[in-house]
Amino acid sequence: MINRWSDADAEEFAADYDGKCGRALALRAYSARLLGADRRLVLHGGGNTSVKDKHRNILGEAIEAVFVKASGADIAEIGPEGHVGLDLNYLREFAAIEAMSDEAMINEFRTHMFSSNAPTPSVETLLHVFLPFKYIDHTHADAILTLANQADSEKLIKEALGPDVLTVEYQTPGFKLAKAVLAAFNKRRHCKAIVLLHHGIVTWGDTARDSYGLMIELVTAAEQFIKKHTAIQPKRHVSTSPDEARRRYIKIAPILRGLLAGASGSEDSPFNRVIIKPLIDSDTLDYTDCGIGRETALTPPVTSDYLIRTKAYPLWIDALNYDDMDVLRAQLSSAIGDYKMRYEEYLTTHAQKMGGEISRFDSIPRVLYIEGIGVVCSGRDIESATIAADITSQSIEIKSAIAAMGRDYEGISEEDIFAMEYRTYQHAKLGVSDEPPLARETAIITGAAGAIGSAIARELLLNGCHVAVTDLPGQRLDSLYEELHIQFGLRVMAVPMDVTDPVSVSGACGKVVERWGGLDIVIVNAGIAMVASLSEMSIEAFRKLERVNIDGTLIVIAEAARHFAFQRTGGDIILISTKNVFSPSANFGAYSVTKAAAHQVARIASLELAGIGVRVNMVAPDGVFSDGARRSGLWEEIGPDRMRARGLDEKGLEDYYKGRNLLKSRVTASHVARAVLFFAARQTPTTGATIPVDGGLPDAVPR
Ligand code: ZN
């Protein structure tokens, strides 16, 4: 483990915050980031850090203060403002109190912070308060967890880290743990650090550099000790290759995702879907295929900190039958059904012991170990699924390391697991209350690089959806992806695709399945236009429009239909139609004819797919010319011609279109996107319907 501290960087960091916060707090944030930079020390929002300093209040008085990392904040990116300032002397008095609920503790924190709108500080705030040191660092380092999850952990830790490192038995993080740490510390006030069994390590120092340095020194000592005591093991048998596992995964993912979807309780949108993410690599496959996994995957987690992400226990699934999809579906269904039952039992037993009602999570597994595939993690969005996957990866590494030491894994008790999984403090980290309407959904948009397609992508992404933008390969698609990726991260992907080629379409859908597990919303938007009178139209040019506008619609809808039938959680198809379907234009026949056929394909799909819960609707805009700098294909085709025909410039032509509708409105790509959102969010029980987005054109009213 390398010590990343640099005096020059620390000074530069502190200088950036000069005048905005105290130097002590700035250096606190600097070294917290160093901890966050190493995934072997902390993962996603784990670990916490503090510094004690003075706070000057509005009366000019200097108050003893402790600044503690905000609950759930990611220390890899933390700044001084990510540490919440609290009244240290007041909180110190809590050492005399016997017991305190999470609710009472949060209330005390929130009423004794220096800023009314700061986030709630870490659940381990009182541990930082009770220990009398300037800087305190706490991590859940892999090497420490490897030593702290064994039968004789205390002895091992003494051997590895020396006699001056104190060990404290597992306690539920929060008030109880802080009290236990204080009691142990008071008996050995000259100890140099504390290992919390089944949890992590706490170091301290007079300076940020000392506290961080000690952390690195001790974790390195633990790593070296493990290395020395690891027997080199012969591989027990050959596991599935990652390529083969990935092929299997793509085959089963939609079934799995369908089975993991819970009931939402809403008739309009009956499924509470999940996003799934696979963990397929040779280390994971060695674990699931070679015996260690079967022995240890279902043992308690390596630390209780991430239980809200992974649930108390994962699900283990034996090798599946890939030759018969019906048998495979039945195998998965019964495994998930058993899991739900066991999880309900676990909840009922422990809720009764706690003597009260709890607000329950769903009973759907978050982590599934599948022999011959690896691990599949689920969450309400790709971020949650990714966090669960990273935590599982850490767990596999630690449990494998203990096995390689020739030792037995020993985790915390089920009571302790439950106490941590169901607590106010942890639930708040999930932010369930602010879930956007399409958080659990995935969409694919054809022709996304154009004006309307890109506006739809943005609208769906803003509403929490995972969006695959597809178009012909090239710079337009690449630049759209780059633009969206900056803002929406893991929730956007770009897939080059040709709607006229069934192989290309099904390949693109496979890529979406591999990334997010399945597909829920299909936006059929790709289309091309041509200006020509019937008498002058070239049949080859007409055929080109047929291929994109009609064949493309049919191929994409057919692929979606097969996928939805396989996934069994309904779905939505939305076709971007046109006002020309209802009110065609002269010299624009090829477009009007082919779009009318596409429109009819969608209407027929609404009849055929209603039985499996799939809705098919249409949005019919009048001319949309651009979305910001992004020109529509329609404009590129007809703009110059129409300008010439009417003797207008660009602005004049837009005004002409505006002037011809009842509302005298300019129709934009965003308007079209909002109509798409209306259908995608399933606001009404509607299928086979068309929303005109045209400012009111009496000739073009759908009929
Ligand atoms: Zn912790």
- The 10s digit of each residue's pLDDT in 446-486 is 999 999 999 999 999 999 999 999 999 999 999 999 999 99
Task: Tell how far the Cα of 310 is from the centroid of ligand 1, in angstroms.
Answer: 16
Task: Tell how far the Cα of 488 is from the centroid of ligand 1, in angstroms.
Answer: 30
- Percent of residues, the chain, with pLDDT higher than 90: 74
Q: Reduced to 3 DSSP states, what percent helix, strand and coil does the chain have, rounded to the nearest 5?
A: 50, 15, 35
Task: Tell how far the Cα of 420 is from the centroid of ligand 1, in angstroms.
Answer: 11
Confidence band for 70, pLDDT divided at 50, 70 and 90: very high
The dihedral through the CA atoms of 672, 673, 679, 683 has a sign that is negative
Task: Tell how far the Cα of 22 is from the centroid of ligand 1, in angstroms.
Answer: 26
Task: Tell how far the Cα of 218 is from the centroid of ligand 1, in angstroms.
Answer: 17
Q: What value does the mean pLDDT take over residues 560-575?
A: 97
Task: Tell how far the Cα of 84 is from the centroid of ligand 1, in angstroms.
Answer: 17
Task: Tell how far the Cα of 138 is from the centroid of ligand 1, in angstroms.
Answer: 7
Identify the DSSP state of 299.
Answer: S
Task: Tell how far the Cα of 78 is from the centroid of ligand 1, in angstroms.
Answer: 17
Q: What value does the mean pLDDT take over residues 576-593?
A: 94
Task: Tell how far the Cα of 644 is from the centroid of ligand 1, in angstroms.
Answer: 70
pLDDT exceeds cutoff 60 at 236: no
Task: Tell how far the Cα of 362 is from the centroid of ligand 1, in angstroms.
Answer: 25
Q: What value does the mean pLDDT take over residues 224-248?
A: 84
Closest CA to 681 of 462, 452, 424, 503: 462
Task: Tell how far the Cα of 678 is from the centroid of ligand 1, in angstroms.
Answer: 43
User: So what's the pLDDT on residue 430?
Assistant: 61
User: So what's the pLDDT on residue 85?
Assistant: 96
Task: Tell how far the Cα of 106 is from the centroid of ligand 1, in angstroms.
Answer: 17
Confidence band for 702, pLDDT divided at 50, 70 and 90: confident
pLDDT digits (tens, 9 = 90+) for 136-161: 999 999 999 999 999 899 999 999 99
3-class secondary structure, 54: strand
Q: What are the residues whose beta carbons fall under 8 Å from the beta carbon of 342, sequence distance 6 or more? A: 313
Task: Tell how far the Cα of 166 is from the centroid of ligand 1, in angstroms.
Answer: 16
Distance CA 382, CA 385 (A): 5
Does residue 311 contact residue 361 with C-beta atoms inside 8 Å? yes
pLDDT exceeds cutoff 60 at 221: yes
Task: Tell how far the Cα of 700 is from the centroid of ligand 1, in angstroms.
Answer: 63
Task: Tell how far the Cα of 196 is from the centroid of ligand 1, in angstroms.
Answer: 9
Task: Tell how far the Cα of 280 is from the centroid of ligand 1, in angstroms.
Answer: 28
More confident: 375 or 653: 375
More confident: 427 or 94: 94
pLDDT exceeds cutoff 70 at 235: no
Residues paired with residue 523 on neighbouring β-strands, in sequence order: 445, 574
Task: Tell how far the Cα of 300 is from the centroid of ligand 1, in angstroms.
Answer: 16
Q: How many CB atoms lie within 10 A of CB 233?
A: 11
User: So what's the pLDDT on residue 433?
Assistant: 63
User: So what's the pLDDT on residue 424?
Assistant: 63
The dihedral through the CA atoms of 555, 558, 563, 564 has a sign that is positive
Task: Tell how far the Cα of 124 is from the centroid of ligand 1, in angstroms.
Answer: 7
Domains of the chain: 7-228 (3.40.225.10), 242-428 (3.40.225), 442-630+668-693 (3.40.50.720)
pLDDT exceeds cutoff 60 at 234: no
Mean pLDDT over each residue of the chain, to the nearest integer: 92
Confidence band for 122, pLDDT divided at 50, 70 and 90: very high
pLDDT exceeds cutoff 80 at 305: no
Closest CA to 34 of 63, 76, 65: 76
pLDDT exceeds cutoff 70 at 233: no
**Whats the size of the chain, residue-wise?**
703
Alpha-helical regions (H) of 633-668: 633-646, 650-659
pLDDT exceeds cutoff 70 at 288: yes
φ/ψ of residue 386, rounded to 5: -70, -40
Task: Tell how far the Cα of 193 is from the centroid of ligand 1, in angstroms.
Answer: 14
User: So what's the pLDDT on residue 290?
Assistant: 81
Task: Tell how far the Cα of 304 is from the centroid of ligand 1, in angstroms.
Answer: 8
Closest CA to 430 of 567, 277, 582, 307: 307
Token pair, residue 81, equals: 């403002």
Task: Tell how far the Cα of 671 is from the centroid of ligand 1, in angstroms.
Answer: 48
Task: Tell how far the Cα of 141 is from the centroid of ligand 1, in angstroms.
Answer: 10
3-class secondary structure, 348: helix
Token pair, residue 355, equals: 């003597």
Task: Assign residue 468 a region (left: φ > 0; alpha: ψ between -120 and 50; beta: otherwise).
Answer: beta
Confidence band for 209, pLDDT divided at 50, 70 and 90: very high
Task: Tell how far the Cα of 298 is from the centroid of ligand 1, in angstroms.
Answer: 22
User: What strand order describes the sheet that includes 367-370?
Assistant: 275-279, 374-379, 367-370, 315-317
**CB-based contacts of 425-430 (< 8 A; 24+ apart in sequence):** 425/71, 425/102, 425/106, 425/120, 425/123, 425/174, 426/123, 426/307, 426/308, 427/308, 427/359, 428/71, 428/72, 428/120, 429/45, 429/71, 429/72, 429/308, 430/308, 430/384
Q: Considering only the C-alpha atoms of the chain, give the largest distance between any 2 of them, rounded to a whole number of Å.
A: 99
pLDDT exceeds cutoff 60 at 431: no
User: So what's the pLDDT on residue 124?
Assistant: 94
Task: Tell how far the Cα of 149 is from the centroid of ligand 1, in angstroms.
Answer: 14
User: So what's the pLDDT on residue 634?
Assistant: 73
Distance CA 53, CA 342 (A): 49
Task: Tell how far the Cα of 209 is from the centroid of ligand 1, in angstroms.
Answer: 21
Whether the model pTM is above 0.85: yes
Task: Tell how far the Cα of 122 is from the centroid of ligand 1, in angstroms.
Answer: 9
pLDDT digits (tens, 9 = 90+) for 309-365: 888 889 999 989 999 999 999 999 999 999 999 999 988 888 887 766 666 778 899
Task: Tell how far the Cα of 381 is from the centroid of ligand 1, in angstroms.
Answer: 25
Does residue 522 contact residue 444 with C-beta atoms inside 8 Å? yes
Task: Tell how far the Cα of 351 is from the centroid of ligand 1, in angstroms.
Answer: 24
Task: Tell how far the Cα of 425 is from the centroid of ligand 1, in angstroms.
Answer: 13
Task: Tell how far the Cα of 358 is from the centroid of ligand 1, in angstroms.
Answer: 23
Q: What value does the mean pLDDT take over residues 419-426?
A: 72
Task: Tell how far the Cα of 214 is from the centroid of ligand 1, in angstroms.
Answer: 17
pLDDT exceeds cutoff 90 at 32: yes
Confidence band for 656, pLDDT divided at 50, 70 and 90: confident
Task: Tell how far the Cα of 200 is from the centroid of ligand 1, in angstroms.
Answer: 6
Q: What value does the mean pLDDT take over residues 612-627?
A: 91
pLDDT digits (tens, 9 = 90+) for 257-282: 999 998 888 888 889 999 999 999 99
pLDDT exceeds cutoff 80 at 633: no
Q: How many CB atoms lie within 10 A of CB 371?
A: 18
pLDDT exceeds cutoff 70 at 196: yes
Closest CA to 620 of 675, 665, 572, 663: 675
Task: Tell how far the Cα of 274 is from the centroid of ligand 1, in angstroms.
Answer: 28
Q: How many CB atoms lie within 10 A of CB 120?
A: 18
Task: Tell how far the Cα of 99 is from the centroid of ligand 1, in angstroms.
Answer: 20
Task: Tell how far the Cα of 162 is from the centroid of ligand 1, in angstroms.
Answer: 22
Task: Tell how far the Cα of 112 is from the centroid of ligand 1, in angstroms.
Answer: 22
pLDDT exceeds cutoff 70 at 516: yes
Task: Tell how far the Cα of 343 is from the centroid of ligand 1, in angstroms.
Answer: 25
Task: Tell how far the Cα of 75 is from the centroid of ligand 1, in angstroms.
Answer: 13
User: So what's the pLDDT on residue 653?
Assistant: 83
Q: Are strands 165-168 and 193-196 parallel, antiparallel or unpaired?
A: parallel
pLDDT exceeds cutoff 80 at 629: no
Alpha carbon 325 to its chain centroid, in Å, reads 29
Token pair, residue 542, equals: 């007409």
Task: Tell how far the Cα of 140 is from the centroid of ligand 1, in angstroms.
Answer: 6
Lowest mean pLDDT among 197-211, 227-241, 575-589: 227-241
Task: Tell how far the Cα of 47 is from the centroid of ligand 1, in angstroms.
Answer: 5
pLDDT exceeds cutoff 70 at 536: yes
Task: Tell how far the Cα of 215 is from the centroid of ligand 1, in angstroms.
Answer: 14
pLDDT exceeds cutoff 70 at 86: yes
Task: Tell how far the Cα of 640 is from the centroid of ligand 1, in angstroms.
Answer: 65
Greatest mean pLDDT among 45-59, 413-427, 558-572 lies in 558-572
Task: Tell how far the Cα of 275 is from the centroid of ligand 1, in angstroms.
Answer: 27
User: So what's the pLDDT on residue 18?
Assistant: 87
Q: Are strands 521-524 and 492-496 parallel, antiparallel or unpaired?
A: unpaired
Distance CA 639, CA 335 (A): 58
Task: Tell how far the Cα of 188 is from the centroid of ligand 1, in angstroms.
Answer: 21
Distance CA 498, CA 472 (A): 6
Task: Tell how far the Cα of 686 is from the centroid of ligand 1, in angstroms.
Answer: 49
Q: What value does the mean pLDDT take over residues 503-532?
A: 96
User: So what's the pLDDT on residue 356?
Assistant: 64
Task: Tell how far the Cα of 302 is from the centroid of ligand 1, in angstroms.
Answer: 12
User: Helices 502-516 and 552-567, interaxial angle, to 10°?
Assistant: 40
Task: Tell how far the Cα of 523 is from the centroid of ligand 1, in angstroms.
Answer: 44
